[in-house]
A and B are shown apart, each in its own frame.
Chain A
Amino acid sequence: MHVLARGNPFGAGAADRADAPTNLCPSELYLKETAAADEQDRALVRRYLEGQRDAAGGLVDRYQKRLFNVALRMLDNAQDAEDVTQTVFLNAFLKLRTYDPRYRFFSWVYRMTVNESLNVLKRRRRIVTVEDEPDIQAPGAAPDRAAEVEDRVGKALMCLKPDDRAVVVLRHFVAFSYEEIADVLEIPVRTVKSRLFTARERLRLALSEGVR
């Protein structure tokens, strides 16, 4: 398995990885940290199923920010992202009895988040018949740099097909490896690469032209 070298500021288990021992090679360290994060998830799930409600709070604490940000990047709308995050958690807790602990909890909830976001986009297409094409502005000075970046990122993502956007979001905002993305989206790794490379090519052209 290839391992992504770049750090993951808010990916699964990021907080847990920060304190991990450093006398291991990167791939061994990654696997160890991921296994520890998975074990923490499983422990929280087990405690919740045993009736300890505070475990639910623990799982929400671990994932609400990550899932909210994935939904936000998928939908470019904070209210919709909030709805999606809430729906995903409620669905997750309702279905927790059917969750198979052999599989990774974070893959499961990220998958639900992406799927729920895609559902919202489908509904949005039904409701909104006229929608402006997103603008992608060429780089330039702006009074508020952070707001400008946020705006450009949002618009750039929205010009991608939803399926391609999901791959880009999981790669660039959650820093998942190709294999992790394939696991979350339940698609082959070659499809992950194809979608990611195609999406980046489209973004490259759009950003270089600064076109509407």
Chain B
Amino acid sequence: MLSQDQIELIHQEIDGANTPEGSAAFRSLMEHDPEARALAAELRRVAGLFSQAGEREPPPMLKRAILDALPQPARASPRASLRWAAQALRLVTERMEEAIMTKKTVLIGSAAAAIVLIIAGVVSSWPPGSHEAGTIGGVEQAARYHGRAMTEADVSLKNPEIQALFQNDEVLQLVRSEAFRQVMDNQAFRQLVASDAYRQIVASQAYQQLIASQAYQQLLASQAYQQLIASQAYRQMIANQAFRDMAASQAYQQVMASQAYQQVAASQAYQQLMASQAFRNLQANQAYQQVMASQAYQQLMASQAYQQLMASQAYQQLMASQAFQQLMASQAFRNLEANQAYQQMMAGQAYRQIVASQAFRTLQASETFRSLAQNQALSQAFMREAMRTQN
């Protein structure tokens, strides 16, 4: 029977970590103890297996994705700082008003994105892949979830959280509504769920972190947020063709994706945003100008709900969170915004009816919804039961 010290000696020899004296003791042990020889041989086989495994190349776009998402260097060189300061000083006065307006626009874009994320959180596993039971087929699950299919038991009504949801009259009203059915059957919705951009978003770590964050959940549950998305002005805004054109425009996406935007809470970064070429392009964009001049936009800006939302701690924490910034800066998110199916769904009446409904707000504010948004199995169970309830 080998002692603990002898076993350690063998492990250390395999790791090349023995002192010369330790190696000599190891060699002596090998000469005299067959059990030690057998153990050493087996441990070498384990180590040998690992040494046979090659190193994999990272995805070719990884470096680009990292560098694209990087914030500006934390401190500029003295020469660059002087250049920036002179430029900022020149621009700051004349652009003050524009800056305020632009910030609001960007934040509206963020709020619109948050709504999509709500839906994504609920239906991230819906419709199911063709290998699973489901009413709507033809759309594969996100690739990263392959091999993690839930059993029937996981998606049954026995789940108390799902049971509780469907005992709620408002939730029942929502899933039985024509608007809900229309969204589920909507071709644009199905295309959206099947799109790479959507899958990448839902599968991304930033998204998972975001929906799990306290700030995000507080925001969704806040009265101001719910009033805002239920407001006529907001619904008009997201249905507005000019708004959709702007959101899809390259200039807008450049601004949203710019490094400066990611530090929008910091005034220095914000000034860089103002001075950027992307910002100038946005200002010159016709869709942008139409949005700025639209009545819906003005009403939205003036609404109490909007102002409360902007001032809320939860909203500000969310905007400042790393997960949110990573998500907004990601190529997948930009692709999603530019996705035609996404835009069609956002503009669809059925979708707008859902997000504006009292039932949906009840659902959003519920504890169970938070579980749904974070748990694929629950999400799937909810959607299946919703479809069953409709039939």
Residues of A that sit less than 8 Å from B by CB: 2-6, 9-10, 48-53, 56-57, 60-61, 64-65, 68-69, 72, 77-80, 82-87, 89-91, 93-94, 96-97, 120, 123, 126-131, 146, 149-150, 152-153, 156, 168, 171-173, 177-178, 193, 196-197, 200, 203-204, 207-208
Q: Which of A64, A93, A97, A197 contacts B8 (CB 8 A)?
A: A197
Q: Closest A residue to B14 by CB, please name it.
A: A200
Q: Are A129 and B150 in contact (CB under 8 A)?
A: yes
Q: Are B56 and A69 in contact (CB under 8 A)?
A: yes
Given known A69-B55, A149-B52, contact A2–B19 (CB-CB < 8 A): yes
Given known A80-B144, A123-B208, A200-B11, contact A53–B46 (CB-CB < 8 A): no
Q: Are B43 and A64 in contact (CB under 8 A)?
A: no
Q: Which of B54, B67, B73, B208 contacts A52 (CB 8 A)?
A: B73
A residues in contact with B322, CB < 8 Å: 90-91, 94
- Tell me, in angstroms, the Cα distance from A203 to B47 when the chains sit together: 10
Across the A-B interface, give the 8 residue pairs with the lowest CB-CB distance, nearest first: A5-B16, A68-B58, A83-B205, A172-B50, A51-B76, A153-B53, A51-B77, A97-B74
A residues in contact with B144, CB < 8 Å: 77, 79-80
Q: Closest B residue to A65 by CB, please name it.
A: B58
Dominant secondary structure of chain A at its interface with chain B: helix
What are 10 residue pairs bridging A and B, where the CB atoms are less than 8 Å apart in the complex?
A48-B73, A64-B62, A68-B58, A86-B62, A90-B66, A96-B74, A126-B374, A153-B53, A196-B15, A200-B43
B residues in contact with A130, CB < 8 Å: 150-151, 154
B residues in contact with A150, CB < 8 Å: 53-54
Q: Which of A50, A61, A203 contacts B63 (CB 8 A)?
A: A61
Q: Are A49 and B50 in contact (CB under 8 A)?
A: no
Given known A87-B205, A96-B74, contact A64–B51 (CB-CB < 8 A): no
Q: Are A128 and B148 in contact (CB under 8 A)?
A: yes
Report if B86 contacts A (CB, 8 A).
Answer: no
Given known A172-B50, A200-B46, contact A49–B66 (CB-CB < 8 A): no
Report if B89 contacts A (CB, 8 A).
Answer: no
Given known A79-B143, A149-B52, contact A172–B47 (CB-CB < 8 A): yes
Tell me which residues from 21 to 59 in chain B have a Cβ below 8 Å from any Cβ of chain A: 42-43, 45-47, 49-59
Q: Which of A61, A90, A97 contacts B326 (CB 8 A)?
A: A90
B residues in contact with A10, CB < 8 Å: 55
Report if B100 contacts A (CB, 8 A).
Answer: no
Q: Are A4 and B16 in contact (CB under 8 A)?
A: yes
- Tell me, in angstroms, the Cα distance from A78 to B144 when the chains sit together: 9
Least Cβ–Cβ distance between B3 and chain A, in angstroms? 13
Least Cβ–Cβ distance between A173 and chain B, in angstroms? 7
A residues in contact with B257, CB < 8 Å: none
- Tell me, in angstroms, the Cα distance from A205 to B7 when the chains sit together: 15
Q: Are B73 and A177 in contact (CB under 8 A)?
A: no
Report if B271 contacts A (CB, 8 A).
Answer: no
Q: Are A146 and B66 in contact (CB under 8 A)?
A: no
Report if B223 contacts A (CB, 8 A).
Answer: no
Least Cβ–Cβ distance between A191 and chain B, in angstroms? 14
B residues in contact with A89, CB < 8 Å: 66, 70
Report if B75 contacts A (CB, 8 A).
Answer: yes
Known contacts A57-B67, A61-B63; 12 further A-B pairs (Cβ under 8 A):
A4-B16, A6-B15, A50-B73, A69-B56, A72-B56, A85-B58, A90-B70, A126-B375, A172-B50, A178-B15, A204-B45, A207-B49
B residues in contact with A4, CB < 8 Å: 15-17
Given known A61-B63, A130-B150, contact A203–B19 (CB-CB < 8 A): no
A residues in contact with B52, CB < 8 Å: 149, 153
Q: Are B11 and A193 in contact (CB under 8 A)?
A: yes
Least Cβ–Cβ distance between A41 and chain B, in angstroms? 16
Least Cβ–Cβ distance between B19 and chain A, in angstroms? 7
A residues in contact with B143, CB < 8 Å: 79
Q: Closest A residue to B39 by CB, please name it.
A: A204
A residues in contact with B67, CB < 8 Å: 53, 56-57, 60
Least Cβ–Cβ distance between A134 and chain B, in angstroms? 12
- Tell me, in angstroms, the Cα distance from A9 to B51 when the chains sit together: 10
Q: Closest B residue to A53 by CB, please name it.
A: B73
- Tell me, in angstroms, the Cα distance from A90 to B67 when the chains sit together: 9
Given known A51-B76, A53-B73, A90-B70, contact A153–B49 (CB-CB < 8 A): yes
Q: Are A93 and B71 in contact (CB under 8 A)?
A: yes
Q: Are A149 and B53 in contact (CB under 8 A)?
A: yes
Report if B377 contacts A (CB, 8 A).
Answer: yes
